[in-house]
Amino acid sequence: MTAQVLKPEEYFITEEPYYESVGNEVEVFEAAYRNQLPVLLKGPTGCGKTRFMEHMAWRLKRPLITVSCHDDLTASDLVGRFLISGGETVWVDGPLARAVRSGGICYLDEVVEARKDTTVVIHPLADDRRVLPMEKLGELLEAGADFCLAISYNPGYQSVLKDLKQSTRQRFVALEFDYPCAELEAKIVASEGAIEPELAGQLVKFAHMTRNLKGSGLEEGASTRLLVHAAKLVKSGVQPVVACRASIAQALTDDEEMLIAVNELSASVF
């Protein structure tokens, strides 16, 4: 299959992305969307935030435009800039402007990584003005009812220098994501990894053991995503213990003693 080139605003999700509701996040998101409120997704890595966004984009039938935020992100990276094309200046929209124009969902992932002076660009979009000022064009882009702004971040081990300002946080409806309960997680793993429910249950049991170790040797426990990785490996014929070692233990920590302990845990479950 060759790689495809898509314009972001054409990125409609046509097939239902698999997503299991943990609580009532789908209803809350839909309600926020109908009320044109922006949404903040909080949670550890690998617990379904991005998958949730895809699911909602499919559900609401809007294109999903994702921006991965980083330290060098500037306002014009988000809003747009002039480029020279064939001797003429041409305004090119950034992902945020595209989303507003096409009435899509703009998803800013890991928003705390961006600098604070960049993040404030989204403030006018995130309160009830719902406009995007484009100073270079001298225009004010008003968002239609279809547009939705979503941001995400991981509140985990916070550095004092990188956190979300109150003036930003308080504009959003916040949804908290966490690892689902054991039954549900097993269902997800079995479905995504295409393995038997029993094996999925064992993987989830193992994941719970690693989550018990959070803070006493492991920074984070195994995320659902890692379990899916392990499941896929097992499906391809890798021994479960080996799969856990490669896809989970080594991904979680480099500390020797912790590695031995985690590997012993996986060896005791299978």
Partner 1 sequence: MVQLPTIPESATRDALVETPLDDYELIDFGRGRKLERWGPYVTETLDRHAVGEPDKLSWQADWIYVDDVGQSGHWQPTRSGLDRQWTVQLGGASVVCRLEPRGRVGLPGRDILCAGWIRQRIEGCYDLEELTVLNLFAGNGYVTAQALAAGATVVHVEADGDMLELAQLQAGRQNVEYVQHNVMDFVEALLRRQQRFDVIVLPAPDLGHGPKGQLWDREVDLPRLVKHLPRLVTDDCLGIWLSTDGGAITWKAESLGQLLHEVLPGRTIEPLNLGVATADGRVLAAGIAARWYDETAFLQTGGIALTAAQLEERLDTHMVSLGAAEEPARALAGYSREQQDFVLRCAGMVARTSSGMAFNFVSHVCGALRLMDESGVEAWLLHCMDIYDTKGLHPAVAAFKDVDNFARGHRERTTGLALDEVVNVLEAFVHGLNGRRLKVESGEHVFTDSESLFLPNAISRFKQRDKNFQLYKTMAVHQWAQTWYGTWRVDISEALHRYPDYQSALKCFHALETLRLDARVRQMLPGVYRHIQEFRQATDASMDEAWQQAARRLERADATVRDSLSLIGATIDRALPVAPLYQGVLHPDAVRKVRKARMQTDKQAFRIGLLKMQNDLNRRQAEQHEDEIQEESTAEASGDEKPVFALRKVEAEETADGFTFEIELDGRPLPAPDNVKSTMASILQDLGDIPEEYLYAAGDGAYFAGDIGERRAEDVWKGTYHEEGAFLYNEWDYERQNYRKNWAVLREMDVHPTHDHFIGRTLHKYRGLAMDLRRTFEALRGEDKLLKRQSYGDDVDIDALVEAVADTQHGEEMTDRLFVKLHKLERNIAVMFMVDMSGSTKGWINDAEREALALLCEALETLGDRYAIYGFSGMTRKRCEVYRVKSFDDPYDDDVKARISGIRPKDYTRMGVTIRHLSYLLNQVEARTRLLITLSDGKPDDYDTYRGAYGIEDTRMALIEAKRSGIHPFCITIDNEARDYLPHMYGAVNYAVIDEVRKLPLKVSDIYRRLTT
Binding site for partner 1 (CB under 8 A): 72, 74, 76, 81-84, 88-90, 136, 155-161, 182-183, 205, 208-210, 212-213, 215-217, 241, 257-258, 260-262, 264-270
* Residue number, 148 or 231, with CB nearest to partner 1: 231
Q: Which two tokens stand for residue 172?
A: 């959003």
Continuous segment of H or E residues that includes residue 259: helix 256-269
* Residue number, 40 or 148, with CB nearest to partner 1: 40
Q: Which two tokens stand for residue 194?
A: 């295409």
Q: Number of helices (H) and strands (E), helices first, in the chain? A: 13, 9
* Residue number, 80 or 193, with CB nearest to partner 1: 80
Shortest distance, position 96 Cβ to partner 1, whole Å? 17
Residues 6+ apart with CB under 8 A from 4: none
Neighbours of 128 (CB within 10 A): 10
Shortest distance, position 239 Cβ to partner 1, whole Å? 12
* Residue number, 105 or 207, with CB nearest to partner 1: 207
Q: Which two tokens stand for residue 256?
A: 């020797």
- DSSP-derived secondary structure letter, 111: G
Shortest distance, position 157 Cβ to partner 1, whole Å? 6
SS3 for 185?
helix
Neighbours of 6 (CB within 10 A): 10
Per the DSSP assignment, residues forming a β-bridge with 82 are 91
* Residue number, 1 or 160, with CB nearest to partner 1: 160
Shortest distance, position 36 Cβ to partner 1, whole Å? 25
Shortest distance, position 264 Cβ to partner 1, whole Å? 5
